[in-house]
Chain A
Amino acid sequence: MSVLTTNILVPHGREESWRFTPLNRLKGLHDGSAAIAEHRSLSMHSEVTPGVSFERISRELLPSLSTTDDAVMNRVREFSLDVAVLKIAANTEVSSPIHLSRKTFDLNAAEFSRVLIHVGSNARATVILANTGDTLLAEEIEFKVESGAHLTFVTLQEWDSKTVHVGKHHAIVDKDAMFKSITVTIGGSVVRLLPTVEFTGPGADAELIGVYFATAGQFFEHRIFVDHCVPNAKSRVNFKGALSGDKAHTVWIGDVFIRANAEGTDTYELNRNLLLTDGARADSVPNLEIETGEIVGAGHASTTGRFDDEQLFYLMSRGISVEDARRLVVRGFFAEIITEIADSEIQDRLMQRIDDELVKAGA
Chain B
Amino acid sequence: MSTLEIRNLQVSVNTETGAVEILKGVDLTIKSGETHAIMGPNGSGKSTLAYSIAGHPKYTITGGSVTLDGADVLDMSVDERAKAGLFLAMQYPVEVPGVSVSNFLRTAATALRGEAPKLRTWVTEVKDAMDALSIDPSFAQRNVNEGFSGGEKKRHEIMQLELLKPKIAILDETDSGLDVDALRIVSEGVNRAKDANNLGVLLITHYTRILRYIKPDFVHVFANGKVVEAGGPELADKLEAQGYAEYVGS
Contact = CB atoms under 8 A, between A and B. Distances in A.
B108 A320 contact: yes
A320 B98 contact: no
Interface residues on B, range: 20 to 34
A336 B99 CA distance: 10
Given A311-B94, A321-B111, A332 B82 contact: no
Given A332-B143, A333-B98, A314 B111 contact: no
A318 B96 contact: no
Interface residues of A, number: 24
Contact of B103 (A325, A328, A334, A336): A328
A332 B100 CA distance: 8
Contacts of B54: 313, 317
Given A318-B160, A319-B82, A320-B79, A313 B111 contact: no
Contacts of B104: 315, 318, 328
Nearest to A321: B79
A318 to B, nearest CB: 4
Interface in A298-315: 308-311, 313-315
B107 A328 contact: yes
A311 B143 CA distance: 13
Given A321-B111, A328-B103, A332-B143, A309 B98 contact: no
A316 interface: yes
B97 A336 contact: yes
Contacts of A321: 79, 111
B74 to A, nearest CB: 15
B96 A332 contact: yes
B96 A314 contact: yes
Contacts of A38: none
Contact of A309 (B57, B81, B93): B57
A331 B107 CA distance: 13
A218 to B, nearest CB: 23
30 contacts: A311-B94, A311-B95, A311-B96, A313-B56, A313-B94, A314-B90, A314-B94, A315-B104, A315-B108, A316-B82, A317-B54, A317-B55, A318-B82, A318-B108, A319-B79, A319-B83, A319-B111, A319-B112, A320-B111, A322-B77, A322-B79, A324-B111, A328-B103, A328-B104, A329-B96, A332-B98, A332-B143, A333-B98, A334-B98, A335-B97
